[in-house]
Amino acid sequence: MHSEGIAALLEAASTAYEAGEHAKALELWRQYREQRPADAEGYLKAAVALRRAGRFDAADNLLRQGLAQSPNRLPLAIDYAWVAHYESNWNEALARWKAVAHSYPKHPAGIIGIGRVLIKLTRLAEAEEQLSIGISAFPDDLHVAMTHAEVATAQMHWNDALERWDKVLALKPDSEPAITQRKIALSQIVESETATSTAVGVVRSLPATPNVELDRRSHMAIGSVVLQYESLGDNSEFGFVQRHFKAEPVGLLRWTYCVADSVINLLEQQFSGFGKPKNLSLFRTSWKEYMVREKHYGITFPTFSTDDITDESAFLRDQNIRLSRLAEQLLSDLTHSNKRFLFKISHSTSDAQIQRLHSLVQQYSAKNRLVCVSVSADVTERGTVVDLGNGLIYGKLSRRSLIGTRWDIPYEEWRSILQSAATF
């Protein structure tokens, strides 16, 4: 086959994949590998598609073939580590990232992967040691700097975290995770300083048997509980609940507005075509924040950016990368994590839609739980949950939390719901 025809195979495979014709795309990539068995791209593109579909064993096998055939081993070795990473097979992922770092010491991917896995395993002292080495070796790499900052945040070393997130923002001023995490670190520092400066007065005002330490531990405990949940929409109320209880996970749908049908379509189609550049459009709100509209599924995402954008195409490319990574993480969580998935019913949603959403969540893994939270007019139901069986749970709040543009969230009712639902 002529080189033009071989190149056309790659283009046709990519076109088929973006159109949702995954079987066709995989077959075209297979044909490409037959013609170019030493070219890493034929293995890599197909493996990424398999990984995104949750077919981790098939992706592993294909990448091992590529590593044996292709001289361009670096991208294959990196994706081989990502397969175990997204499968949440942390010990295997750590071994693979270490292999990347050993074989390619001049590339930052290995040290980044090692750091992220160690954070997941809460081996924070080791993560700190590894990322300190990484910062010395790659002082201007954005992702090394971000992982270095994530270690300090995980350790709750807030002064170090603030300094490190500032370094990230110096490298990428519009980084949404860095902006958010810097605010958290700063708020913790301010809160700590305020608490210290008023400690004597507070102690004097306490009753003879103070419960301050008990309250602190209780707040830490609910933060841990909140992290067991992943938002599936339909608005950002649960995102604010997480923030209130000092839990700041980065999730695809945490800050979105998306109705039930959008989430149903996303899960039914296994995220096919999601976040492609051609499906993204940009608009600006009355408060000057830029928002991204994902037209394929009809979901709106905040960018947390209010600065004037001079290159809209480049900005949307960055958003494509960000949303694709978040989508891969949600897909991994649906398939392999022990999280509970939470849908806040704020708009008209039928029982049939909830049943379909529940069915889809469980198709990814029978262990998954769906918690639906809505408003009840019955005051006796506020903050309560009902287990309907088979992993479907309903929680009840006393009132709507968004009135116009003002939030009035009943946090203690949310606390009760989340703690109770976590027992099912």
CA distance 241 to 251: 14
Average pLDDT of the chain? 86
pLDDT band at 203 (very low <50, low <70, confident <90, very high): very low
pLDDT of residue 405: 64
pLDDT at 404 over 80: no
pLDDT at 200 over 60: no
Which of 120-134, 144-158, 181-195, 240-254 is predicted with the least confidence, judged by mean pLDDT?
181-195
Q: Is residue 205 part of a domain?
A: no
Domain co-membership, 309 together with 388: yes
pLDDT tens by residue, 107-123: 999 999 999 999 888 88
In angstroms, what CA-CA distances link 121 with 22, 84, 223, 232, 298?
34, 14, 18, 25, 36
pLDDT at 204 over 70: no
In angstroms, what CA-CA distances link 103 with 132, 337, 340, 387?
19, 30, 38, 51
pTM of the model: 0.55
Q: Is residue 206 part of a domain?
A: no
Domain co-membership, 253 together with 183: no
pLDDT tens by residue, 343-386: 999 888 899 999 999 999 999 999 999 999 999 888 888 999 99
CA distance 305 to 316: 12
Domain co-membership, 132 together with 263: no
pLDDT of residue 96: 96
pLDDT tens by residue, 375-400: 988 888 899 999 999 999 999 998 88
Domain co-membership, 153 together with 254: no
Contact (CB, 8 A) for 229 and 414: no
- Does 88 or 367 have the greater pLDDT score? 367
Domain co-membership, 114 together with 246: no
Average pLDDT over residues 166-176: 88
pLDDT at 209 over 80: no
Domain co-membership, 168 together with 108: yes
pLDDT of residue 196: 43
CA distance 168 to 163: 9
pLDDT of residue 248: 82
Domain co-membership, 286 together with 388: yes
CA distance 364 to 335: 5
Q: Is residue 195 part of a domain?
A: no
Domain co-membership, 250 together with 167: no
Q: Is residue 395 part of a domain?
A: yes
Contact (CB, 8 A) for 263 and 233: yes
pLDDT of residue 62: 95
Average pLDDT over residues 324-328: 88
Average pLDDT over residues 17-26: 88
Domain co-membership, 224 together with 170: no
**Residue 9: which domain range?**
3-189
pLDDT at 321 over 50: yes
pLDDT at 140 over 90: yes
pLDDT of residue 313: 86
Q: Is residue 70 part of a domain?
A: yes
pLDDT band at 284 (very low <50, low <70, confident <90, very high): confident
Choose among 303, 306, 308: nearest CA to 293. Answer: 303
pLDDT of residue 155: 83
Domain co-membership, 281 together with 368: yes
pLDDT tens by residue, 220-258: 478 788 888 999 988 889 999 998 888 888 889 999 888
Which residues make Cβ contacts (< 8 Å) with residue 352, sequence separation at least 6? Answer: none
Which domain CATH number covers 52?
A: 1.25.40.10
pLDDT tens by residue, 29-63: 999 999 999 999 999 999 999 988 888 899 999 99
Domain co-membership, 119 together with 264: no
Angle between helices 73-86 and 40-52 (to 10 degrees): 10
Which of 201-215, 285-299, 304-318, 395-409 is predicted with the least confidence, judged by mean pLDDT?
201-215
Q: What pairing do the DSSP bridges indicate for beta strands 229-231 and 385-389? A: unpaired
Q: Is residue 69 part of a domain?
A: yes
pLDDT of residue 217: 43
Q: Domains in the chain: how many in total?
A: 2
pLDDT of residue 385: 94
Domain end call among 158, 189, 220: 189
Q: Is residue 202 part of a domain?
A: no
- Does 67 or 119 have the greater pLDDT score? 67
pLDDT of residue 191: 57
Q: Is residue 197 part of a domain?
A: no
- Does 293 or 211 have the greater pLDDT score? 293
Domain co-membership, 331 together with 220: yes
